[in-house]
Structure 1
Amino acid sequence: MPYTPGEAAGRIGVSIDTIRYYERIGLMTGVERDSVGRRVFSEHDLSRLGLLRCLRDSGMPIARLRRFAELLEGGDETAGQRTALLEEHDREIDEKVAQLRREQERVREKIAWYRSVAEH
């Protein structure tokens, strides 16, 4: 079932401007057009948009997103390279989560300290 840009944006949770931007910078290629030239998005397109959005939301830089999209165009031959890129990103996410946990612990220490001050 084809989706309009608005429907695609709604299903993925992004703006139409984000989809246009992804197309403009080469992250989304090969989007079909209907008989009057309007873009129509397939389930495959939505899946790709969703993955790109996930990677971006989890902190992947645009340059690396472009590289990933480039590798997607290479088909199965590039599966190993895509895997390596995603594994690297996964390690970076782990580092960010660990850092956030450390920061959360400090915030919790301050909460406990302020509570003790407020009780006196």
Structure 2
Amino acid sequence: MSYTIAQAARRAGLTTHTLRYYDKEGLLPFVDRSPSGFRAFKESDFEWLSVITCLKSTGMPIRDIRQFIDWCVQGDSTLADRLAMFRRQKSIVEQQISQLQKHMEKINHKIRYYEIACEAGTEDAVRGIPCDEL
């Protein structure tokens, strides 16, 4: 089965503009073209789009994603490069998770703070309580 760019965008949770941009940036060399030049997405293209979306969502720059795609096209001689790239990205994501956990702790603290303040009807009830006791 073949999908138009609009159908592929809908299925992948992206916009047609994003898919055209990815294509322009060299991230979609695997997407076929119809005889009239229209992009024709196939079932296997959605796994590629999923990986691209994952990497983009974790903050990987387009140029690095393009490098990954290029390595995939080059074949098995680049397996170690691809592994190293994913290990680096894993480290970056772990750092992001750690930072998000710190943000979550701050948010949870503020929730406890305002729950106590709301229950008492005033922030004065919370002001003297040490942060680690909230």
TM-score between the two structures when normalised by the length of structure 2: 0.82
Computed over aligned residues only, the root mean square deviation of the Cα atoms, in angstroms, reads 1.4
- The residue aligned with 1:32 is 32
- The residue aligned with 1:83 is 83
**Could you tell me which amino acid in structure 2 is paired with residue 113 of structure 1?**
Y
Give how far 1:35 is off: 2.7
- For 1:103 and 1:37, the matched residues in 2 are separated by 47
Q: Which moved more, 1:74-83 or 1:41-50?
A: 41-50
Q: Tell me, which stretches of 5 or more residues in structure 1 are unaligned?
A: none
- The residue aligned with 1:108 is 108
Give how far 1:71 is off: 1.2
Structure ranking higher on relative contact order (CA contacts 8 Å, 6+ apart): 1
**Could you tell me which amino acid in structure 2 is paired with residue 100 of structure 1?**
L
Give how far 1:70 is off: 1.6
- For 1:96 and 1:35, the matched residues in 2 are separated by 44
**Could you tell me which amino acid in structure 1 is paired with residue 60 of structure 2?**
M
- For 1:115 and 1:30, the matched residues in 2 are separated by 53
**Could you tell me which amino acid in structure 2 is paired with residue 106 of structure 1?**
K
- The residue aligned with 1:15 is 15
Whether 1:42 aligns to 2:42 is yes
Deviations 1:60-90 (A, max 9, x none): 1222112112211111211111111011111
Give how far 1:45 is off: 2.0
Q: Tell me, which stretches of 5 or more residues in structure 2 are unaligned?
A: 121-134
Whether 1:118 aligns to 2:123 is no
**SS at structure 2 position matched to 1:40:** strand
- Equivalent pairs counted in the alignment come to 120
Q: Identity of aligned pairs, percent?
A: 34
- The residue aligned with 1:55 is 55
Q: Which has the larger radius of gyration?
A: 2
**SS at structure 1 position matched to 2:2:** coil
